[in-house]
Amino acid sequence: MAIINAPKGVPDYVPPRSRDFLFVQEQLSSTARLSGYEYIELPVFESTELFERGVGTSTDVVQKEMYTFTDRGDRSITLRPEGTAGVMRAVIENRLDKGPLPVKLWYRGPFFRAERPQHGRYRQLQQVGVEAIGSSDPIIDAEVIALADQAYRSLGLKHFHLDVTSLGCLQCRPAYRLKLQQFLATCDLDQETMERASLNPLRVLDDKRENVASQLIDAPLMIDSLCTECQEHYDQVREFLRLFGVQWNEAPRMVRGLDYYTRTTFEFVHPGLGAQSGIGGGGRYDGLMAELGGSELSGIGFGLGVDRTLLACEAEDLTPLSESILDVFIVPVGVESRVPCVSLLFALRAVGIAADVCVDNRSIKSAMKAANNTNAPLVIILGPDELSTGSVVVKNMASGEQQSLTNDQAALIAVLKENLRTHQAEIKKLETEKPKTTKEDQS
């Protein structure tokens, strides 16, 4: 019978790479968790109208990339293409905007965009995101950007850069938009680009085609048309970014794919990824909550692409990021050892030691091969000799050293924990003493 493949453009993460995927996702999440952001769990599908109103009908995301279907109750439903609109909907619906502000939330999970699949561009993509809602303080803009920067650095990533700009506000942008449209009307553009210029002129600035880009060199830029409030806000954001030690490039031509952005917008870019180099991005969205029927509250957030961050770690040769999911692998030798091994297995798991046992009555040779495959730092061997003396053999897989220890569970657990602590300390020491050289360092 023919095999069934995953739908086009949808990645599987299988072991051992799935360990690194999980590691990246948890590392990105833990930065938000450790910074006072509360977790929010959101539905994977929402009313289509939420994204039409929230993300904007002139965006590619809404026009071409949404997975939309009619459910059994004849409602138009869309698999979420991004997280911000859903967070706003949940904040309004659960009246979090009426409580203490700012509301700081983080989320993670899959998002869906029917884009043309290529390296780093998937139809099911994974993000870790944060949203800070209810404050326009530039400290929050800088904090959110610094959080993302720190999250990438905590993985060991070095060769990414950060682009930042201000897109102005609902007061100063309309006048700029008109100025840009007047400029674009003087250019020699094809029909489709002219249409884009009338619908969403800022997006034309991002056109990479030589014949278009060459005409846009003198195009007016939003950054030169900011109102006094936006200019002051942006100046302060940059001052705080400096204080937080974050480095960035001014990117006055940056165009984001979602319509809700105002003022500070940013993108993290990794040059090791080819065409799909945006590993994360975000910005402020002053009118979004009101647009969705909520209070006039401003907000700012980011979405970090887990898939692309993993690709960036691979491009910098940082993988494997996690050596093993196990601390201990237990090998019973002979049928009589199976029961004591299983009871030891559960005792170890009960005290938080990640453990597994070799099954199927394997020979010692084949069992040690299985132990090797797990990468567990410690292997416990229990055979007839150990059974008769009430002991176990503990093998340190890195040094090859073997110790005979008592099978008294409390005493054994204490020794195992000590060994695991030493093992962890050695790994940490190696990591700090010998920072990994990257492909780019070597070139």
Contact 202, 253 (CB under 8 A): no
Can residue 134 be called a binding residue for ligand HAM (CB under 6 A)? Answer: no
Q: Omega before 201 cis (within 30°)?
A: no
Specify the stretch interacting with ligand HAM by CB under 6 A; choose among 123-131, 133-141, 179-187, 392-400.
123-131
Short-list 424, 85, 382, 110, CA closest to 259: 85
Segment near ligand HAM (CB under 6 A); pick from 158-166, 177-185, 205-213, 305-313:
305-313
- CB 292, CB 89: distance < 8 Å: yes
Q: Which range binds ligand HAM by CB under 6 A, 70-78, 125-133, 351-359, 406-414?
A: 125-133
CB of 360 to ligand HAM, least distance (A): 40
Of the candidates 28, 48, 34, the residue with the CA atom closest to the CA atom of residue 148? 28
Q: Taking a C-beta distance cutoff of 8 angstroms, is the pair 51, 86 a contact?
A: no
Interaction with ligand HAM in 329-368: which residues (CB under 6 A)? Answer: none
Residue 125 binds ligand HAM, judged by CB under 6 A: yes
Is residue 297 part of the contact set for ligand HAM (CB under 6 A)?
Answer: no
Please pick, from the candidates 54, 56, 102, 129, the single residue that binds ligand HAM as defined by CB under 6 A: 129
Q: Is 263 in the site for ligand HAM (CB under 6 A)?
A: no
Contact 189, 197 (CB under 8 A): yes
Give the number of residues written for the chain.
443
Task: Classify 52 as helix, strand or coil.
Answer: helix
Quote the least distance from Cβ 97 to ligand HAM, whole Å.
16
3-state secondary structure of 106: strand
Nearer to ligand HAM, 108 or 113 (CB): 113
Letters for 243-262 (x = contact with ligand HAM by CB under 6 A, - = none) are --------------xx----
Residue 282 interacting with ligand HAM (CB under 6 A)? yes
User: Minimum distance from CB of 126 to ligand HAM (Å)?
Assistant: 8
Q: Is 377 exposed, middle or buried (0-12, 13-18, 19+ CB in 10 A)?
A: buried
Please report, as residue ranges, which positions from 62 to 101 form the binding site for ligand HAM (by CB under 6 A): 82-84
319 lies in the site for ligand HAM, by CB under 6 A: no
Minimum Å gap between C-beta 388 and ligand HAM is: 58
Give dist(CA 395, CA 344) in Å, integer: 16
Closer to ligand HAM by Cβ: residue 56 or 278:
278
Q: HEC profile for 284-319?
A: ECCCHHHHCCCCCCCEEEEEEEHHHHHHHHHHCCCC
Going by C-beta distance under 8 Å and a sequence separation of 6 or more, which residues neighbour residue 272? 159, 311, 312, 315, 316, 439, 440
Task: Tell me if 279 contacts ligand HAM by CB under 6 A.
Answer: yes
CB of 104 to ligand HAM, least distance (A): 12
> Considering beta carbons, is residue 65 or 327 the nearer one to ligand HAM?
65
**Are the CB atoms for 279 and 308 separated by under 8 Å?**
yes
CB of 299 to ligand HAM, least distance (A): 8
Segment contacting ligand HAM (CB under 6 A): 25-33, 222-230, 298-306, 369-377? 298-306
Residue of 130, 133, 101, 136 whose CA lies nearest to 234 = 136
- Pick from 107, 122, 160, 329 the residue near ligand HAM by CB under 6 A: 122
Note whether 113 binds ligand HAM by CB under 6 A: yes
Binding test (CB under 6 A) with ligand HAM, winner from 86, 168, 201, 305: 305
Is residue 56 a contact point for ligand HAM (CB under 6 A)?
no
Q: What is the DSSP string of 331-386?
A: EE-SGGGHHHHHHHHHHHHHTT--EEE--S---HHHHHHHHHHHT-SEEEEE-HHH
Binding window for ligand HAM (CB under 6 A); candidates: 18-26, 115-123, 195-203, 212-220: 115-123
Q: Which of 419, 410, 423 lies closest to 348, judged by CA?
A: 410
Q: Does 308 bind ligand HAM (CB under 6 A)?
A: yes
CA-based end-to-end distance of the chain = 48
The single-letter DSSP state of residue 280 is E
Q: How many CB atoms lie within 10 A of CB 428?
A: 10
| Pairing of β 38-39 and β 103-112 | parallel
Residue placing its CB nearer to ligand HAM in the complex, 85 or 230: 85
Query: Would you say 276 or 375 has its CB closer to ligand HAM?
Result: 276
Is the Cβ of residue 134 or residue 332 nearer to ligand HAM in the bound state?
Answer: 134
Shorter beta-carbon distance to ligand HAM: residue 10 or 393: 10
By the criterion CB under 6 A, which residues form the site for ligand HAM?
82-84, 113, 115, 120-122, 125, 127, 129, 131, 257-258, 278-283, 301-303, 305, 307-308
